[in-house]
Amino acid sequence: MKVLPTTNTDVSRSRWFRSWGYHAEFYAQTWRGSVASSVLFPILYLASLGIGVGHLVSHHTGLVDGQTYLHYIAPSLLATTTMQLGEGESLWPVLAAVKWVRTYHAAATTPLEPDDILMGKLAWVATRAFVTAVLYTIIIGCFGALQSWWCLTLPFIGTLVTVAFSAPLVAYAARSQSDASFSTLYRFAFVPMFLFSATFYPLSTYPGYLRPVVQFFPLYHGVALARAAAFGQGAIAAQLGHVAVLMAMATVGIAWGRRTMRRRLTD
């Protein structure tokens, strides 16, 4: 039997996959703690906001952009959930791995390169995001909020949103010396994005001078994509623009992450 030579590309792929496998094996021992956030929280969010608050909205204003309030917010909550997953997996866990527990330093003493550690981490976050988005899509489908076959792209949209946020946050956490700035990020970046990215009410309800600010938020593009996919609405060119913004975030974050991870782990 002829043995084919192993190329550098094959070895590189194998290395980052081993890094992914570490995260998967660790999660296999701790997955029970995330069941509530992946399954129960979507149901509670949709029941409390979509049905509870939605009843008041319907009573006073009727439909929102031609949809009931429950149907209107359901896709946007998928985008916010996957954004929050990217945050949660990319700040404190990465800082712990490079400073407190030094897991990544231990990995760097093996044949794994810093790039392998980074890509394995992002691949694992993407895997979690895809599974979470699939579950969320099923749940919002049970609430009747899916009206187009484009809804089959929702898990991929959720994954893109997660990676778009996770990649730059991993890079930022890898260069941080403490977690003091993380709470500031949550307070002044993530919370405003969660509240003011057309998540709970349409862009048209904002004053004209604030609309460009809302459209500048990265989460806005994820919310717009998820809503368009769920309802099968919106111009293709606009959706491609949203995809381009999120992919640009992910690309810049990966490039930055390679730099910061290499510096942190080779010092």
- Res. 7 pLDDT band, cuts 50 70 90: very low
- Res. 39 pLDDT band, cuts 50 70 90: confident
Alpha helix ranges (H) inside 33-113: 35, 41-45, 54-60, 69-90, 92-95, 103-108
**Cβ pair 43, 153 in contact under 8 A:** no
Q: What count of residues does the chain have?
A: 267
Read off the pLDDT of residues 52-63 as tens digits, 9 standing for 90 and up: 787 777 767 777
- What is the pLDDT averaged over residues 161-187? 95
Mean predicted lDDT score pLDDT of the chain: 88
Please tell me the pTM assigned to this model. Answer: 0.90
- Res. 6 pLDDT band, cuts 50 70 90: very low
**Phi and psi at residue 76, in whole multiples of 5°?**
-70, -30
Distance, in Å, from the CA atom of 62 to the CA atom of 67, rounded to the nearest integer, reads 9
- What is the pLDDT averaged over residues 182-199? 92
Least confident of 32-36, 125-129, 145-149, 250-254: 32-36
**Residue 267 pLDDT:** 65
Distance, in Å, from the CA atom of 241 to the CA atom of 126, rounded to the nearest integer, reads 21
As given in the structure block, the two tokens for residue 263 are 């510096």
262 beta partners: none
Q: Look at residue 91 and give its three-state secondary structure.
A: coil
Tell which residue, 168, 172, 156, 167, has the closest CA to residue 122.
Answer: 167
Distance, in Å, from the CA atom of 116 to the CA atom of 194, rounded to the nearest integer, reads 32
- What is the pLDDT averaged over residues 80-86? 93
Distance, in Å, from the CA atom of 100 to the CA atom of 231, rounded to the nearest integer, reads 45
Spatial neighbors of 266 by CB under 8 A, at least 6 apart, are 108, 114
Q: Is the pLDDT of residue 200 over 80?
A: yes
- What is the pLDDT averaged over residues 144-162? 95
**Cβ pair 157, 79 in contact under 8 A:** yes
Read off the pLDDT of residues 17-26 as tens digits, 9 standing for 90 and up: 889 998 899 8
Q: Look at residue 215 and give its three-state secondary structure.
A: helix
Bin 176: left if φ > 0, else alpha if -120 < ψ < 50, else beta: beta
